[in-house]
Amino acid sequence: MSGSPSLEPGAALNAAQIAELVSGQLEGDSEQLFTRVTDLAHAEPQHVVFFRAGADAAGRLPSNEETQAFHDSKAGLALVDDTVEDPGRPCVRVANPSLASAILSRHFEVPQQYAPGVHASAVVANDAQIDAGASIGPLCVVSEGAVIGPGVVLVAQVHVGPGVILGAQTILHPHVSIYERVTLGAGCVVHSGTTVGAPGFGYVWSGERHLQVPQVGGVTIGNGVEIGTNSCIDSGTFQPTEIGDGCILDNHVQVGHNAKLGRAVVLCGKVGISGSTKVGDGAVFGGQAATVGHLKVGAGAKIAARGAIMKDVPPGAVVAGFPAVDIKQHQRDKVRLRRLLRDADKK
Amino acid sequence: MSGSPSLEPGAALNAAQIAELVSGQLEGDSEQLFTRVTDLAHAEPQHVVFFRAGADAAGRLPSNEETQAFHDSKAGLALVDDTVEDPGRPCVRVANPSLASAILSRHFEVPQQYAPGVHASAVVANDAQIDAGASIGPLCVVSEGAVIGPGVVLVAQVHVGPGVILGAQTILHPHVSIYERVTLGAGCVVHSGTTVGAPGFGYVWSGERHLQVPQVGGVTIGNGVEIGTNSCIDSGTFQPTEIGDGCILDNHVQVGHNAKLGRAVVLCGKVGISGSTKVGDGAVFGGQAATVGHLKVGAGAKIAARGAIMKDVPPGAVVAGFPAVDIKQHQRDKVRLRRLLRDADKK
Amino acid sequence: MSGSPSLEPGAALNAAQIAELVSGQLEGDSEQLFTRVTDLAHAEPQHVVFFRAGADAAGRLPSNEETQAFHDSKAGLALVDDTVEDPGRPCVRVANPSLASAILSRHFEVPQQYAPGVHASAVVANDAQIDAGASIGPLCVVSEGAVIGPGVVLVAQVHVGPGVILGAQTILHPHVSIYERVTLGAGCVVHSGTTVGAPGFGYVWSGERHLQVPQVGGVTIGNGVEIGTNSCIDSGTFQPTEIGDGCILDNHVQVGHNAKLGRAVVLCGKVGISGSTKVGDGAVFGGQAATVGHLKVGAGAKIAARGAIMKDVPPGAVVAGFPAVDIKQHQRDKVRLRRLLRDADKK
């Protein structure tokens, strides 16, 4: 482990350094310095690839094409697990090649760096508190009372509303809008076009018009939360909408007012979490899945793509369909239905 | 009623003033001044809560937990209807506690105020007409020929295209884009990232490529329309796409070219109204619901979440499913299908 | 054909000029100069309309109302095909009235023009290469190493990341965000709020958190691609996500990392193409349709609105449903199911 601390981000590594970085066992050796992780088809001798012959976490086996591509790859080093008998080149054995490749790629691919300071074209309120180590890019707006922590990056054209608090190292990409009464923790990433803290969709019919209920609860986002592009996290009514530590949200996701997500929740593209719904730690929603409001989705539950949650989901349940039911029942029902329709066809 | 006009927005109120403001009957009394409306769990003695023991407009009764929370709440005043027998503290009796709470909360929660004038960093065309009472925030663009009414607020980083007309008191939040040939009425609110007036998705195959049909009808939006974040209202082809007075649209809503919404239509999150579809006054679309183009949805129709409208919907109809059918039939069908599948399972 | 090259964009045309422009045959004549194409109901004598009495490409016949509107229209000239027996006014016979109307309307409706040069309020990196004929509008950001071709327009408030390459005549509307490692070809149009090149949704569970896999492949977009508002094209992991020449994408579309679209693909509103899926030339996805990842959709395939692609789709197939199956089977299944449910009801 002694070498790891001195690895300069982005530096080429030899096989031994790679094995150490990913906590794997080197088999064979190579004088080659490696410069990046890449895919099987495009790898050159100075590149690293990863492969497993057995089933991955989702139970998927590599296709014959993929296996052939692995053997044909020009990569000089492979990250593999024990299911790969003959890697055909020097390799590093690891328990989880995907994870190892991510760790290694994160070493090689150094993110864009941003110089600290406030760009001359940014518009910053007098009483905003901006850490000297923060980078406020061109044409950003930072409103009165905002508190911007060390290492925060507002890439460009970001809007930070009144009183917003941004934790250390959080990065907001162009055209992100943060409304008032929002707190983001440390190490968050919010991508372009996403909005946080706009008022939730709360109206009462007055007899003449839809009267908006003030939404003043704001949003509280934990540490290490990553949100894709053009997503929307709405302000709570009286108390904050909450996103727990380490949640990851894809593009076009909507989290309604008063919703509460636990830790490390995964929301894939176009998911909609309706108002006041609570989602437990580690739950996973597939693309286009949605909930009605005021429900509880238990920790570790998995909602298949386009699943529609109409009632509480127990912890650990795996559900699918509209309305979403246990996925095994859902699949049995599909088979039965197909049989019924086929039989009906014969009559 | 004499007191109401003199209530300063945001000011603390006593129970009698509150009863007057919401047109209710005070039971019991209190010297306490109240400062906000909030939820049962977080209320303090200087707060007001609201509760009903009977079914709400949607037929939903409070859960036992909610009833207990009401009785346990520390709130000093409650807005209740006649279904609540023992409010356990001073109360104001009203016909509709939700509505009363909204009215009261709108008194307490004073929206962010914006100083009139044009921020030095905004880029405004010479011939744009900007009322002296309008507020053009930092880094906005107002294009040639735009007409900005009194009290209009462009919060920051808004784009207003050529010739756009914005009615009095309308507010556009950061990163809103208004294309040319768009008119918004008075008192509208458009939230961050929403686009109005981009060309509708109209193409003709030329034999070699998809040829865009010019979309020059623009968009006409009435008074008091409120639109959430990252929604899209497209320009009509020859005549304007229309949004009637008092419509409310949530996030990620798309209204296609040439669509016409009547008054007070409700479009929940991720709804898609396809091109040339007409929606009558007061119709309500649940989340992810969608229509194909060139249809008519009657006034007061209700479309369940994710309902897919494939043919005209009569006024007042309540429909669900894909394709959407009368909701009672939809529910009967679900029950029958479940029975059929269960029976199939037994064989 | 001799006259066409000299037609000044936007100029009024007489019937003979129109016939020549759209390669049609003039029947009857008119001294009238025509100024625009418009719809039947709003046309005046100086306007041109289009109509067909037979089925269009989608097999749809005009309604009686539409036929009446055609005959009642005040339009001075009609673009019609051979299915229209009595146009009731001078007409130009063409094979495809829709196409002819698009060509003619594109003559009349001259797009907003933008003066070349860099607006004083734009923030442009020293080493960005900007063609003298490009127009960089107010409050845009052009980052280091970007290459902006001739005739490119950044309307306003656009963000162009490091090293981005924009081909000739491409136009980016307000609040578009282009991340690093993105190339757009010539003649593309990207509408407001759309993001290109944000990292794909690729994570590995580390045992403690979701660890982002660097997404450094970028995006390569061909020529003549048109993208609506608030859509998202994500960066590939190691190699670019690809959008082929002439694709058209509507609003709220998501194209996941490593996806590859062929030429002239059509993605309607809210479509989601998951990671690593390949879509062949000319395929068409209806609104809200989606795919799971790692699939192949063949050239010319048609996916009905809200279709959910769970396995490969052969070239030319027409599919619908969830999971999507051949549309004829889908429709037969719907009919059978309805019969089964009706029969069940009788028991």
Does the pLDDT value for residue B99 go beyond 50? yes
What is the token pair recorded at B26? 């005070």
Pairing of strands C260-261, B266-267: unpaired
In Å, how far is C206's CA from the nearest CA of chain B?
32
**Looking at residue A3, what is its pLDDT?**
42
Q: Which residue of C has its CA nearest to A110?
A: C214
What's the one-letter identity of residue A23?
S
CB contact under 8 Å between B157 and A159, yes or no, is: yes
Contact status, residue C219 vs residue C181, Cβ threshold 8 Å = yes
Q: Are residues C193 and C319 in the same domain?
A: yes
Instruction: Say whether pLDDT at A152 is over 80.
Output: yes
Mean local confidence (pLDDT), B81-99? 96
Name the residue with tokens 């925060």. Answer: A152
Copy the structure tokens of residue B139: 């880094």
Within a domain: residue A139? no
- Please report, for the domain that includes residue A287, its CATH number: 2.160.10.10
> Please, are residues B15 and B90 in contact by the beta-carbon 8 Å criterion?
yes
Please answer yes or no on whether C174 and B141 come within 8 Å at the CB atom: yes
Cα distance between residue A131 and residue A117, in whole Å: 9
Domain finish residue from B76, B108, B140: B108
With respect to residue C337, please indicate whether it lies within any of the assigned structural domains: no
CB contact under 8 A, A141 and B157: yes
pLDDT at C148: 98
Kindly state whether residues B101 and B184 are assigned to the same domain.
Answer: no
Average pLDDT of chain B to the nearest whole number: 95
Q: C239 vs A121: CB contact, 8 Å cut-off?
A: no
Helix (H), strand (E) at residue C67: helix C64-72
For B138: left if phi > 0, alpha if psi spans -120 to 50, otherwise beta; the answer is beta
- Which residues make Cβ contacts (< 8 Å) with residue B74, sequence separation at least 6? B43, B44, B45, B47
Distance between CA atoms of C113 and C120, rounded to whole angstroms? 18
> How many residues does the structure list for chain B?
347
> Domain tally for chain C?
2
Residue that finishes a domain, picked among B90, B108, B126: B108
| CB neighbour burial string for C178-203, b if at least 16 within 10 angstroms, e if fewer | bbbbbbbbbbbbbbbbbbbbbbbbbb
Which of B118, B182, B201 to mutate against chain C (most C CBs within 10 Å)?
A: B201
Distance from CA of A298 to the nearest CA of B (A): 19
Q: Which amino acid is it at B261? A: L
Non-local (6+) Cβ contacts of A296 within 8 A are A277, A278, A280, A312, A313
Distance CA C22, CA C4 (A): 10
Token digits of residue A45? 């001798």
pLDDT computed for residue B275 by the predictor: 94
Spatial CB neighbours of C17, under 8 Å, sequence gap ≥ 6: C3, C7
Domain assignment of residue B25, yes or no: yes
Is residue C120 one of the residues assigned to a domain?
Answer: no
Question: What percent of chain A shows pLDDT beyond 90?
Answer: 92
**Residues of A recognised as catalytic:** 257
For the sheet with B25-27, list strands across it: B25-27, B91-93, B77-80, B47-51, B36-37
Report the alpha-carbon distance of residue A53 to residue B55 in Å, rounded.
58
The CATH number linked to B72 is 3.40.1390.10
| Sign of CA pseudo-dihedral A30, A32, A37, A39 | negative
pLDDT at residue A5 is higher than 60: no
Please check whether residues C55 and C191 belong to one and the same domain.
no
**Closest by CA position to B180, among listed B200, B201, B165:** B165
**CB–CB of C198 and A191 under 8 A?**
yes
pLDDT higher than 50, residue B3: no
Average pLDDT over residues A93-111: 97
Among B139, B254, B337, whose Cβ lies nearest the Cβ of C341?
A: B337
**Residues of C catalogued as catalytic:** 257
User: What's the whole-number mean pLDDT along residues A73-87?
Assistant: 96
The answer to whether the CB of B227 falls within 8 A of the CB of B189 is yes
| CB-based contacts of B175, cutoff 8 Å, min separation 6 | A159, A175, A177, A193, B157, B158, B192, B193, C157, C175, C193
Distance from chain centroid for Cα B55: 23
Residue C160 lies in a domain: no
User: C19 in a domain, yes or no?
Assistant: yes
Q: Which two tokens stand for residue A28?
A: 């064979």
Instruction: Give contacts of C282 with chain B, Cβ < 8 Å.
Output: none
Give me A109's structure tokens: 């691919």
Identify the pLDDT of residue A2: 39
Residue C88 belongs to domain spanning: 4-108
Rounded to whole angstroms, the Cα distance separating C44 from C28 reads 18
Per-residue model confidence (pLDDT) at position C321: 96
Judged by DSSP in three states, B339 sits in helix
One-character DSSP codes across C124-187: E-TT-EE-TT-EE-TT-EE-TT-EE-TT-EE-SS-EE-TT-EE-TT-EE-TT-EE-SSEEE-TT
Residue C347: the pLDDT is: 61
What parts of chain C have a pLDDT lower than 50?
1-3
Phi and psi at residue A316, in whole multiples of 5°? 80, -5
Residues A186 and A324 in one domain: yes
Contacts of B201 in chain C (CB under 8 A): 228, 248, 250-251, 268-269
Q: pTM score, two decimals?
A: 0.97
Please give the C-alpha separations between residue B184 and each of B170, B199, B220, C202, in angstroms, as whole numbers: 8, 17, 6, 41
Mean pLDDT of chain C: 95
pLDDT over 50 at B1, yes or no = no
Chain C touching partners, 3 or more CB pairs below 8 A: A, B
Using a CB-CB cut-off of 8 Å, the residues of chain A touching C163 are none
Please check whether residue C10 lies inside any domain of the structure: yes
Minimal Cα distance from C258: which residue of A? A39
In whole angstroms, give the CA distance from residue B4 to residue B18.
9
State the Cα–Cα distance between residues B97 and B103, nearest whole angstrom: 10
Q: Do A191 and A97 share a structural domain?
A: no
pLDDT of residue C343: 84
Q: What is the pLDDT of residue A59?
A: 84
Assess if residue B346 is contained within a domain: no
Facing B238 at nearest CB: one of C39, C106, C252: C39
Q: What is the pLDDT of residues B189-219, one digit of tens each?
A: 999 999 999 999 999 999 999 999 999 999 9
pLDDT at C12: 97
Q: Is B287 close to A274, i.e. CB distance below 8 A?
A: yes
Cis peptide, bond prior to residue A323, ω within 30 of zero: yes
Q: What's the CA gap between B75 and B32, in Å, rounded?
A: 11
Do B194 and B86 share a domain, yes or no?
no
Same domain, C201 and C320: yes
Contact check, Cβ <8 Å, B175/C191: no
**For residue B212, what are the β-bridge partners?**
B203
From A88, A108, A128, the end of a domain falls on A108
Q: Does residue A204 sit in the same domain as residue A314?
A: yes
| Cα distance between the two ends of chain C | 72
Give the pLDDT confidence of A166-218 residue by residue, as tens digits: 999 999 999 999 999 999 999 999 999 999 999 999 999 999 999 999 999 99
pLDDT of residue A344: 77
Average pLDDT, chain A: 95
| Whether A48 and A180 share a structural domain | no
Residue with token string 């029969």: C343
Read off the pLDDT band of A347 (50, 70, 90). low
Strand partners, C233: C196, C255
Q: Chain A residues with CB inside 8 Å of C198's CB?
A: 173, 191-192, 228-229, 251
Contact indicator for C126, C141 with CB cutoff of 8 Å: no
